[in-house]
Structure 1
Amino acid sequence: MSPSGYTLCLLLLVAAVWLWLPCCEGKDYRGFLKRHQDNPKSNYGGNNNYCYNMMRRKGLKCAGSNTFIHASEEQLKSICNSRGQILKGITTSKTLFAITVCQRRRRGLRWRLCRYKGKSKIRRIRVICKKGLPVRYISYL
């Protein structure tokens, strides 16, 4: 291959990567929102029924646990910017968030049917941030 052929291949490769990056940049953030955000909190009755329905709706049926955060995108983004404290790569919110913690019940027939026990709380939350956006939920305090 001639030097101009190598140059053309290199330019095509750079162009492909350049076009591919914007579509994937917020993928982790969108995944975080899909799995954890429910704002305003959906009305499914009590917390146990809420968890059962939300876990199914979010494609998490029979997962061991999940926490749903009842906050806007702006509030969640602010954790990674001005409203969070970073320690060892984990950012803790300075403000409190309304959350619902869902745990799969582990005994008897209810376990086989993937029933959940849900608890509403107001707590600070811990996340991992990437490029100023929350990409992974860690825990609540």
Structure 2
Amino acid sequence: MRIQFVSLLLALLCATVLSLPEDGNPRYRKFINQHVIGRMSADRCDAVIRSRDITMTDSNECKETNTFILATTKLIKPICGRAGQPYGHLTKSLQPFSIIVCTLRNQGATRPNCQYRGQARTRRIAIACNSGYPVHFDRDIAHFEN
């Protein structure tokens, strides 16, 4: 009986999570998969990129560079609103984020042979937003205090 209750509770929780508005936005989900991670060290690029199936769009080629933002969606999504400012056609974060920039070491490689060098940085980030959701990571921006 207890297992059935837990199973029912998990099913309800999954249904609630799946019905959230952002679930209907595939570009936002892709952004999260490719760029958002709570914790990560610079030496984990190969493993994380492999486990998340990150490659060049519509290809088996290794992505040249991929940046991971070390934060939650609760901190990143507000950049598209009050926590961001216009930056050309993009939006720039008001606050810097810890990021890991993964750069391909073996040019021209294809999955699963992608090998990356990771570098930890603290930078503001520039993203594209669509209907209040981050949908594209464009670049990191060095931020210097005056």
Q: TM-score by structure 1 length?
A: 0.71
Structure 1 segment 53-64 matched on structure 2, within 5 A? 53-60=47-54, 62-64=62-64
Are 2:32 and 1:33 aligned? yes
SS in 2 for 1:121: strand
**Deviation, structure 1 residue 24:** 7.1
Distance 1:24 1:70 in 2: 21
Deviations 1:44-75 (A, max 9, x none): xx623x00101101102622210011111111
**Deviation, structure 1 residue 31:** 1.0
Unpaired runs of 5+ in structure 2? 1-20, 56-61, 142-146
Distance 2:86 2:63 in 1: 29
**Deviation, structure 1 residue 88:** 2.5
Structure 1 segment 4-19 matched on structure 2, within 5 A? none
- Counterpart in 1 of 2:16? none
Q: Note if contact 2:22-2:28 (Cα within 8 Å) is conserved in structure 1.
A: no
SS in 2 for 1:124: strand
- Counterpart in 2 of 1:127? 127
Distance 1:87 1:131 in 2: 17
Structure number with bigger Rg:
1
The percentage of counterpart residues that share the same residue type is: 31
For 2:29, the aligned partner's letter is R
**Deviation, structure 1 residue 87:** 2.9
- Counterpart in 2 of 1:82? 82
Structure 1 residues 129 and 106: CA distance shift in structure 2, 3 A:
same
Instruction: Choose between structure 1 and 2: higher helix proportion.
Output: 1
Unpaired runs of 5+ in structure 1? 1-21
Give the root-mean-square deviation of aligned CA atoms. Answer: 2.3
Q: TM-score by structure 2 length?
A: 0.69
For 1:137, the aligned partner's letter is F
Structure 1 residues 23 and 68: CA distance shift in structure 2, 3 A:
closer
Deviations 1:77-121 (A, max 9, x none): 1100101111332000000111000001037x9xx9421110011
How many equivalent residue pairs? 112
